[in-house]
Structure formats: C-alpha cells, structure tokens
Structure 1
C-alpha cells in the first residue's frame, strides 16, 4: 500500500489522538497490516514513508521509529535464534517494542545508566527505572540498556514478566499520542539468551545501531512536519482576506513563506543525501544522518513557528496541525541526540570534511 495515501486517510483523526493522548490500538494494527512496521526497506523509501507519516502525526511516525530501532538492533546483533524469534513478530505487529535507555541521570550521556543486569545461573536480573519510553504503556518487549559487571549490555525484556511496571506519562509537551511511559524493572528475571550481543557491546554497538536508525527516521519525520506546516500556512495566506487584501499579497507574509520553503526543501535534500550514503554503505553515512536529523529538526521547529505567525489565532486552536507540530518539533530537537550534542559531533566531522 502507498504510504502517502495511507497516511492521508488518517489525517482528520490525528488531532483527536493528540487530544486523547493515545494512538488507538486499531490504528497500530492497521499500520502493521499494511506492512509498514519493522520493514527492511531501502533507506530513501523508508525515509519517504516516515515523512508521509510525520506530516500527519508525530506519534504515528514514532511508532515506525521505535519498532524499527529495536528491529535494526536485533537484525544486526542478534543470534540466529533471536532473529528467527523476534523479527517476524516485530514485522507483523504481533509484538510492539519499546526502547528503554534514558534514565534520570543518563540522557545525552547514556554511558551513565544505573540500571543493572546481574547474571545469575543462566538468568539475568534487571533492576532500574527508565524514562520517556515511547509506546512504553503498550509495548510487549523492551530493549533495555543496562550495565553488567561494569560493562554496558542490552537485554530484551518481555513486558509481562513479574517486576515490570509501566507508569503512564500524560500531558507532556509533544508526542502526546505516543503512549509514553516511565518503566520500572524491579528484580526482573529473564533468560540469559535474552542478552543481545555480548557484554561490552550494549552501548557502542547495539544502542548505537538503534539510535542511528532512530535519527534517520526522525529526520524524515521532521521533513514531513515542515512540509505540512508550509502547506497549511500557504493555504491560509492564499485564502484569508483581511482589510480587503489577501494575506498572500503582503510582502512580510510572502517573506515568511519563502523562508519556510527554503527550510523545508533544504531539510528534504539533506535527508535524501543521508539516504543515498546509507544505501551505498558509505562510512560517511553516520555523520550524514546526524546532520540530517539536526537540520530537519530545526527546520520543522522554524517552519512551525513561522506558520503559526501566518495563521495567527487559527494556529492556536485546539485542533490546529500547526500548533500540534509546534509542540512536537521542540521534542524533535531533543530526542535521538539534542541539538547541542549533534553540533559537537558535526564540529568533529567538519574538521575532517572535504568536498
């Protein structure tokens, strides 16, 4: 099924999902049934899918992102048995995944995680609390970043195991329909075969793979947000008459729209470049993905802000797409690497960059 048509069919309900604070279970099932979950698509095709979904609902795009993050980690670092068990279920949507890395003392610095994973006679016992887990309220399995004897590990933890508790998060600034939760692991026991990759690989390999996938899909989702806000602002300016003059005839309004267009086009182009490098297996793809996420997230925030100026009071309405994306765009500049972290990474890249 075409992702643009699928997403467009959901547009009218997105504001209601945001107001209710939940992406409905039937929509999650429909996304899975249409073949959009945990898909192994070429990078640009995956990116366009995320732009289509991101231009409708950030939580809808987040569903694709988090399912893909866990899938990417299992596909690359899982054993044959783990891949055979988890990948089909993730793709069908039989299992919804959550990525549990962030903690109160470990946000940008994930090496500081305090969650422990102690090995005990063929089992692993988890203790800790994770914050801001996307779809953590309804996830069936969590990919948990922890430490084992001082070394970073990642563990697949089924939500139904004794000691797993999801604390719903409501009323946050953005991503209100993404069923966020803080998740507690109180002495949870899982089989040792739930360890994903050997101890020591949890952060530099498994988590890095998941975050790289996340940045790429968030970047494209931001492209969709920027373009949707641009279209909303341009449509309003073309239709709205004030004092006998259409808004679009005012030079100041046209200038705002021009800046929105420049940002939206630039964001898409930098994402297309990242997709091409990923498709080619180019070693520069990781840096290009950081750049794409940085540029696109800032573009989404800037375009949403300017679009709000064009729409005026209409942009502040409860069901306003621009208002919703204005809130969501701030979150995009924080997740999968805040702007300031990306700038540090990109500065290092700039020192060795050549045309």
Structure 2
C-alpha cells in the first residue's frame, strides 16, 4: 500500500485533475458521445486506471477506501469517465485476483499503465446480466476453445483492447481474456443512450473465435462465483462512489445557482423550500460517504460482510443521486432542462446509476433476503 502521506497527496491531486481536465469539458464529451484520446492519455499519466494494483506492476497500491474516494472525485466531474475506469478496474482486479502467474505478468503492467484498456463483457441482448441465462457459448477446440455469442451495452467496448468475456461451457460459466484484435471479434458502437453518453458503449460479437488455453481466467466452471462475489462487487462499489460524486456535483451546482439567481428581488437561496432541498443533498452526501467507507473498510479487511455493505451503499447512493439530480433540475427551472447547465447531464446519468451493476429492484431483493436470513447487524 502507499503511505498515508502519499495517499493523501494522490487523492488531492485527483481532485485537481478533475477540476482542470474533466469538469470544463464533460458536457462537450456528452454531446459528442465519446471521451477523447488526450484525456485517456492524461488518465494514464495520472495513474488513475487501476490504482489498487501493486506498485510492483505499476499501480499505486491504493486501498479500497481511497479507491472509492477517487471514483467519487471522477464521478463528480463526469460519470462517463468514471464508467471507463470502473470496467477497466474490474478487468484488472479479476486478472490480479484470479489470473495465473503468466497472465499477471502479461496483462497487469499494461493495465496499470493504461497502455491496455479493459472492458467487461457480461450483459447480453436477451439475458441482460443474468448469469444463468448467458447464451454466449464456449466449446473445447484442441487445447483451447471456440467462443461464439453477442455481448451488449459494453462500456468502453468501442475503445477497449482487452475484453473479459463470460460464456457458458457445458453446465458452468467460464471467463476468458480476449484481445480486441483476435480474429472473429467484432465491435458495433451504440450511440444516443439516455445517460453516460460518452462511455463508448458497444455491442461486441464473437464469431467462432479461437482461443488458446491461456485465455481462460480462473479454474474451469469457477467464473460464476467470481462474477457474483468479486468482480461485480467491485463494480457496484465504484458505481456507488460515482453516485456520491453526482450528489456532490448537484449540491455544488445548486448552491452556486441559488446564490446568484433572484426571485422577486431575493436570492433563491433564501427560500425555505430551496434550503430544504440543499439540506437533503448535504445529508445524503454525508450518509452515502459513511456507507461507502464501511464497505471499503470491510474490503480492506478481507471481510465477506463487504458484499452486503456494498449492496446497501449502492442502493442508497444511486437512488439518492437520482432524487437529488431531479431536484437540481427543478431548482434550475427551465435552465436545468437545457444543455447550457450540467444538471441536465447529472439527471440523465443518475438514472443510469439505478440500473447498472444491479438494478434498484435487485438490490432491494438482496437486502431483504439478508434480513430474512437474520444477518442484519
């Protein structure tokens, strides 16, 4: 791990990075539907792609609490950029946790440096992210496999160099590392989504793709457990952190707007109903951070209770982000519905947070099930 002093400097520098290189341009990227290459290069230079990786492979050795703080900062500036970091982190974490020595040696240094960008390929057109309904198939072929199927809504699919792909192999689920240039891999951009419009979504097809034995990540038929207990947990944690960033951005935008906007000669900030909205944003921002800190602390301790803590944090922060983004638009009135103010983007992005990495309904089901098992503490 990095030292406490270095950790603080790194996180402070991330906030400055967001203010200088993300906040002023996020609305333009949203309209263009893509993140420019120069920003991807800057993310690499700042060491932001997979900062939890060990220093020995080029990472920052950052703890999970720090990782959450970092993704809050990025989410404050642009949810699309944070989404790219999320899926890349999921791939890097999977290789670190479940890869063999050769896979770690091959992939971790370029993933840490941002020379290789990752994408997480689970969702499918009919199955969504339901692992029990995956239609993508792998069949044995020589010493390796042939892979056939379609993945959809793949964040960073348009740009990624390495796909972490989940497929059915017999009665089990397996995970493969598939480089973009592999013969039979196709990418079709998906444009004009409601939110996170610059996250470079794609449909990725695998047409009888031949894979060697070194493409398999983790033991055969082990990937289903990996998805449920590891990689998706990290993704939820990042999305929850990014949702806190959205709340913070809504608070800052609303406070600034009501300072300078007047109604009947009075600043908007003096109206009790406006003050109530602002106070609710402040309260949920603080509450969300505490929930994330608890989940991060448990992750750092290796405590399995982090799984439910992350479910709860993601449920709370994503619904709060959607609620406060709607209030931010309301505070801005007609201006809030225009592209000249970022709250319109926050509103669209916040809705996406309630769907990705476990919908609100799935989260409620999981949290209630935990209560009925008598495990709520």
- Give the Å deviation of 1:25: 1.1
- After TM superposition, what 4+ stretches of structure 1 lie above 4 angstroms from structure 2? none
2:58 aligns with none
Residue 186 of structure 2 is aligned to residue 165 of structure 1 = yes
Say what the alpha-carbon RMSD is for the aligned residues: 1.2
- Give the Å deviation of 1:108: 4.2
How many pairs were matched up?
A: 355
Is the Cα contact below 8 Å between 1:154 and 1:206 reproduced in 2?
A: no
Structure 1: unaligned runs, 5 residues or longer: none
1:344 aligns with 365
Moved more, 345-354 or 303-312: 345-354
Give the 3 Å change call, closer, same or farther, for CA 123–354 of structure 1 in structure 2.
Answer: closer
Which structure would you say has the larger RCO, counting Cα contacts within 8 Å and 6 or more residues apart? Answer: 1
Is the Cα contact below 8 Å between 1:264 and 1:303 reproduced in 2?
A: no
Is the Cα contact below 8 Å between 1:77 and 1:206 reproduced in 2?
A: no
Q: Give the one of 7, 27, 40 matched to 1:28.
A: 40
Measured in 1, the distance between the counterparts of 2:325 and 2:180 equals: 36
Measured in 2, the distance between the counterparts of 1:208 and 1:281 equals: 12
TM-score by structure 1 length? 0.97
TM-score by structure 2 length? 0.92
- Give the Å deviation of 1:206: 4.6
- Give the Å deviation of 1:267: 1.3
Residue 33 of structure 2 is aligned to residue 12 of structure 1 = no
Residue 375 of structure 2 is aligned to residue 353 of structure 1 = yes
Moved more, 29-38 or 343-352: 343-352
Measured in 1, the distance between the counterparts of 2:67 and 2:294 equals: 14
Measured in 2, the distance between the counterparts of 1:118 and 1:23 equals: 36
Measured in 2, the distance between the counterparts of 1:264 and 1:289 equals: 16
Residue 280 of structure 2 is aligned to residue 259 of structure 1 = yes
Structure 2: unaligned runs, 5 residues or longer: 1-9, 53-61
Measured in 2, the distance between the counterparts of 1:36 and 1:48 equals: 12
Is the Cα contact below 8 Å between 1:89 and 1:95 reproduced in 2?
A: yes
Q: How does 1:181-200 map to 2 (within 5 A)?
A: 181-200=202-221
Residue 147 of structure 2 is aligned to residue 112 of structure 1 = no
Once the two structures are superposed, residues 101-158 of structure 1 have per-residue CA deviations (whole angstroms, 9 ceiling, x without a partner) of 0012222422210100111001211100000000000111100000112210001111
SS in 2 for 1:144: strand
1:123 aligns with 144
Q: Give the one of 209, 215, 221 matched to 2:236.
A: 215
- Give the Å deviation of 1:3: 0.8
Q: How does 1:1-355 map to 2 (within 5 A)?
A: 1=10, 2-10=13-21, 11-40=23-52, 41-206=62-227, 208-351=229-372, 352-355=374-377
